Amino acid sequence: MTPTTPEEREDLIIKTIEKSEGIGFNQLQKETEIPKKTLTKYLNELVKSKVISKRMKGKKPSNGVSITVNFSEHTKNAIKHNLEQISKYHPWYTGKKLVKSNTFPHYLQHLASEYYQNMMSFLFDSVPAYKFGVKRMEELLQEEKKRLDKEFKGKSKFRLWEDCQQIQYHLAGDAWDSIYYAANRRSYRSTDEIRIDCINPRIIGMSTQHEQDKKRREKDKSSGFMPEFSRVNYIKDKKIKKLFIELADEYDKLSKRLLTIKLRLAGITGAYPFEPTNVDKSSEPFLGI
């Protein structure tokens, strides 16, 4: 639908610039289909109100202009600061080869959390801020790639790659678990309940769910996905296996019961149910920007 009101035209202009940061006037006019004279008027108003910025592409006026949407210097500084803090306060990532080999997968895990913040910018705030953040991360990763290529070769580099794969595998698994627990809720969550859903351990699932797990593994295998063996499959002694299943059955029931109690405690008291009430909160790690 062609925009007709001033608000609709302004919104279209801003969204078009956001999609193609550094877009020129002619391309912007072509994509928005707003008459050049009218577009110039809107652009001048947006520049005056500091919503967008225009700069010359070259020294001559004939070189045209580059147009971008502005976002706050505070956001820019926060993005830069967070990435700088990772290197500044975690010297292990750039330390000795052995230490770096052990910590580097978690370094990528840390950067993944930073990318989460950038995705939030894209969805809820500013596409240019997202692009700025991703660009800074790409610059950082380029430097890390140079160091990796220099310090790790052959088997040592492959081992490091495998370690990173393990972190990624469990990171994805934890996210799926969190989705499962969050989906079982019947009301909007509190901040404490979100934290609970993020850290809940998986139940063993080798007893009452054993047959269901077996069918799922067979289905996964037929689709080309090689699943991890269940713990019970590693037990050769039949008596011990039977005992394990009985205990796992009891564990599953207790864990579900305890989970229900913990969630009820969170709802009733508003407190975080996994720790004593006299814990010093000032010692907790800082989460987010």
- Helical axes 97-120 vs 73-88, angle rounded to 10°: 160
**Comparing 32-46, 80-94, 119-133, 182-196, which segment has the lowest mean pLDDT?**
80-94
Decide which of 19 and 189 is more confident: 189
CATH 1.10.10.10 fits 6-69, yes or no: yes
Residue predicted with more confidence, 63 or 113: 113
Q: Above pLDDT 70, what percent of the chain?
A: 79
Half-sphere exposure of 253 (CA within 13 A, CB side): 7
Which position has the higher pLDDT, 92 or 62? 92
| Phi and psi torsions of 53, nearest 5° | -130, 145
Domain positions in the chain: 6-69, 73-184, 201-277
Does residue 274 register a pLDDT over 60?
A: no
Q: What is the pLDDT of residues 41-84, one digit of tens each?
A: 999 988 888 888 888 877 766 667 888 888 877 888 888 888 88
